[in-house]
Amino acid sequence: MPRNLALDAPIGRAWAALPAPWRRALSFLALAWAANLVLFASDWQAMFLQWWDSSTYNHVLLIPFILGWLISLRWREVVKVAPQGWWPGLVLFGGAGFLWLLGSFAGVALATQLGTVLMAQASVLTLLGPRACAALLFPLAYMIFLVPAGDELIPTLQTITAAITMVLLDISQVPAHIEGVFITTPGGYFEVAEACSGVKFLIAMIAYGALVANVCFRAWPRRIAFMALSVVLPILANGMRAWGTIFIAQSQGIEFAVGFDHIFYGWIFFALVMGLVMAVAWRFFDRAIEDRMVDADALVTNPLLARLAAFGMGQGRALGAMGAFAALFLGWGAGANQLEAQVPARIAFPAVQGWQQVDYTPRAAWKPRHTGASHVLLGRFRDAAGHTVDISYALYSAQSEGREAGGFGEGVLTPDTGWSWERSPAPLAGGKADRIQTAGPVFRLAETFYRSGDLLTGSNSRLKLQNILVRLLLREQTTAALILSAEDSVPGQPSAEQSLRAFLAAAGPVDAWMDRASAGR
C-alpha cells in the first residue's frame, strides 16, 4: 500500500493525532492569519523592518519563538477543550479593524500596526471560542509585544534620566547646571540624548518581565511586584549610567567617558541589572517546574465560560464575516486615500505691516521638515526695532501616510540635524511651543500652529482627530502648518519671546493670516 510521507513526518503525525474539531478549527485559523498577512502586508512589513533595523526592537525577533514555546507548555491541556466559532469575537475583530482604519486616516503607524495584531488575536477568539482562548490567554496577550511601541516615551525618559543624574551629581558634589536635557559641569557640556533615554532596555525589560511573571509566578501580588521592579530598576539604572559617564568625565575627560559608556554601560551594566532583577526575585518564585500552566477540566466546568460559550456560531460563517469586515475597512481606507483638495498653483507670505522679508541667514542651519506638502515657504522677517522672526509655512492638499503635518520627525525638530529638544515653555498664542538648541550653543524658540477647516490648534492630537473625521466622512480638505520661530540669547538683539510677540501683534489673528497664505493672497 502507498505510504503518505506527509503523515509519516513528525508534524504530520501530530496533525493526524489532533481531534477532528481541532483540525477543522486550526485550518480556518490558518486561513484567517494568512489573509491577515496578505491584506495587511504593508503593516507587517513595517513592523518587521523595525524589529530588524532598530536596536530598540531587536528583541521582538524572539517573540514568535517565545509564543510557540508558551503554546507548547499549554497544548496538552488546550486540545482537551472543544473549539467553537464565537460571534462576540467578531465585535472585537471589527473594533480592531476600525482602529486600523482610524490609524490609517490619522497617519499613525502605531495604531495601524496595533489594529493588525489585534485582528490576528481576535480571529483566534472568533474561531476557537472563549474556553480555548482562556487556555491560551497569556500567549494571545503576549502577541501585543509584536507591536513596536515605546519610542513615544523617549522625551519623558530623557527628562527623568536628567533629573536622576542631577540628584546623583549633587550627592557626589559635582557642580552642575541643567537646562532641559542639557547638563553643564566643570568637565564639559552633556546632553541626555534620545539614545541615552534608556528606552531600549526599558521596553525589552517590560517584555521580559511579563514573560517571567507568567512562567515563574502564580500569585498575582508577586507578579505585579516583579513587573514594577522590571520597570523601575531599568529607569534608575539608566540614571546611574548617565551620572557615571559625567562623573568619569570630570577626571578622565569626555572622550574616555563616552568610550567607557559604550563598552561597559552599553552591555555589561545592563546585563548586571537584568541579573540583579532575577537574583532579587528568584527566592519568591512560586510556580514549580511540574505545575500545569492551565487546567482544562476547570475551564470546561467554569460557569462563566459556559455562559459565554452559548453565543456560538459556525466557524465557516465566522471566517466569512471577518473577511467582509476586512474588505470594508480596506475599501473605506482606499477611497479616502484618493481624495485631494484643490490648492492654489502658488502661495506667498501675506504682508505684515511694519515687517520686511530679509535674507534667511540663521546662526546655525535650521529648516523644518514638511514631507509631502504641496507648498512650503521658509523666510525671515524683521521690523524697524530689530525684532527678527523666521516663518515656515506648509500647505497640504490631504493628510495621509507619509505626508502628515504632525507626523514623527516633522516640523520644528527634524531628526539627525544636530538640533535637540530642550523644553516646552508656555505658548504665546495658543500653539505648541518648543525651545531647541544645537552646538554653539545656539537656542531657538518656536511655536507651531495647525489649520484644518475651522480648526486652529497647536495640538497634534487635535489635528489628527480632525483629519480622522474628515476622512471618515470622505471630505476633501486642506491642512496647513505654520511655525513661527526666533533665535534666542543673541547678544545685542531682542529675545526670541519679544520678537515673536511683536510679530503676532502686527500680523493679527493667526487663523486669518494662515487662511490668506493658503489662498495665495
pLDDT digits (tens, 9 = 90+) for 280-305: 899 999 888 888 899 999 999 999 99
Confidence at residue 258, expressed as pLDDT on a 0 to 100 scale: 64
For cell 482537551, name the residue.
Answer: 80
Helix (H, G, I), strand (E, B) or coil at 85: strand
The CB density around residue 345, as the number of other CB atoms within 10 Å, is: 7
Task: Tell me the average pLDDT across 409-424.
Answer: 87
Residue 98 vs residue 247, higher pLDDT: 98
Give yes or no for residue 475 having a pLDDT over 50: yes
DSSP state of 78: H
Confidence at residue 305, expressed as pLDDT on a 0 to 100 scale: 94
Distance CA 51, CA 69 (A): 20
∠493-496-497 over CA atoms, to 5°?
Answer: 125
∠119-121-126 over CA atoms, to 5°?
Answer: 85
Those residues whose C-beta lies under 8 Å from the C-beta of residue 520, and which sit 6 or more positions away, are 344, 345, 346, 347, 348
Task: Tell me the average pLDDT across 312-335.
Answer: 95
For residues 129, 131, 132, 137, the Cα torsion angle rounded to the nearest 10 degrees is: 110
Backbone dihedral angles phi then psi of residue 6, each to the nearest 5 degrees: -65, -40
Confidence at residue 381, expressed as pLDDT on a 0 to 100 scale: 97
Residue 359 vs residue 401, higher pLDDT: 359
Percent of the chain surpassing pLDDT 90: 66
Confidence at residue 261, expressed as pLDDT on a 0 to 100 scale: 63
Confidence at residue 6, expressed as pLDDT on a 0 to 100 scale: 43
Give yes or no for residue 1 having a pLDDT over 50: no
∠111-115-118 over CA atoms, to 5°?
Answer: 135
User: 377 with 480: CB under 8 angstroms?
Assistant: no
Q: How confident is the model at residue 370 (pLDDT cuts 50, 70, 90)?
A: very high
Of 210, 190, 191, nearest in space to 202 by CA: 210
Task: Tell me the average pLDDT across 213-234.
Answer: 94
**Residue 65 vs residues 28, 60, 62, 278: alpha-carbon distances, Å:** 22, 10, 6, 22
Give yes or no for residue 264 having a pLDDT over 80: no
Q: How confident is the model at residue 10 (pLDDT cuts 50, 70, 90)?
A: low
Give yes or no for residue 441 having a pLDDT over 90: no
**pLDDT tens-digit series, residues 187-217:** 788 888 777 788 888 999 999 999 999 999 9
Of 121, 124, 101, 118, nearest in space to 318 by CA: 124
Lowest pLDDT segment from 8-22, 37-51, 103-117? 8-22
Give yes or no for residue 347 having a pLDDT over 70: yes
Confidence at residue 195, expressed as pLDDT on a 0 to 100 scale: 76
Instruction: Write the Ramachandran bin of 386: left for phi over 0, alpha for psi from -120 to 50, otherwise beta.
Output: left
The one-letter code for the residue type at 388 is T
**pLDDT tens-digit series, residues 102-115:** 999 888 889 999 99
Please say whether the dihedral angle defined by the alpha carbons of residues 75, 76, 81 and 84, taken in this order, is positive or negative.
positive
Distance CA 511, CA 323 (A): 44
Q: E strand or H helix at 421, and its extent? A: strand 420-423
Of 100, 96, 114, 120, nearest in space to 35 by CA: 120
Confidence at residue 5, expressed as pLDDT on a 0 to 100 scale: 41
Mean of pLDDT over the chain: 90
Confidence at residue 483, expressed as pLDDT on a 0 to 100 scale: 97
Lowest pLDDT segment from 41-55, 173-187, 230-244, 346-360? 173-187
Residue 13 vs residue 348, higher pLDDT: 348
Lowest pLDDT segment from 183-197, 253-267, 351-365, 408-422? 253-267
Confidence at residue 267, expressed as pLDDT on a 0 to 100 scale: 64
Confidence at residue 489, expressed as pLDDT on a 0 to 100 scale: 86
Q: Where are the domains of the chain?
A: 18-151+292-337, 153-282, 355-518
**Residue 389 vs residues 415, 440, 488: alpha-carbon distances, Å:** 23, 20, 11
Question: Half-sphere exposure of residue 467, counting CA atoms within 13 Å on the CB side?
Answer: 36
Of 388, 434, 437, nearest in space to 417 by CA: 437
- Pairing mode, strands 455-457 and 177-179: unpaired
Task: Tell me the average pLDDT across 446-472.
Answer: 93
Confidence at residue 7, expressed as pLDDT on a 0 to 100 scale: 44
User: 388-414 burial, b for 16+ CB within 10 Å, e for fewer?
Assistant: bbbbbbbbbbbbbbebbbbbeebbbbe
Residue 15 vs residue 342, higher pLDDT: 342
Confidence at residue 265, expressed as pLDDT on a 0 to 100 scale: 61
Residue 194 vs residue 68, higher pLDDT: 68
Confidence at residue 331, expressed as pLDDT on a 0 to 100 scale: 95
- β-bridge mates for residue 411, sequence order: 369
| Strands annotated E in 1-106 | 85-86
Those residues whose C-beta lies under 8 Å from the C-beta of residue 461, and which sit 6 or more positions away, are none
Alpha helices, H only, 217-314: 220-252, 254-260, 270-282, 296-301, 303-309
Task: Tell me the average pLDDT across 440-460.
Answer: 93
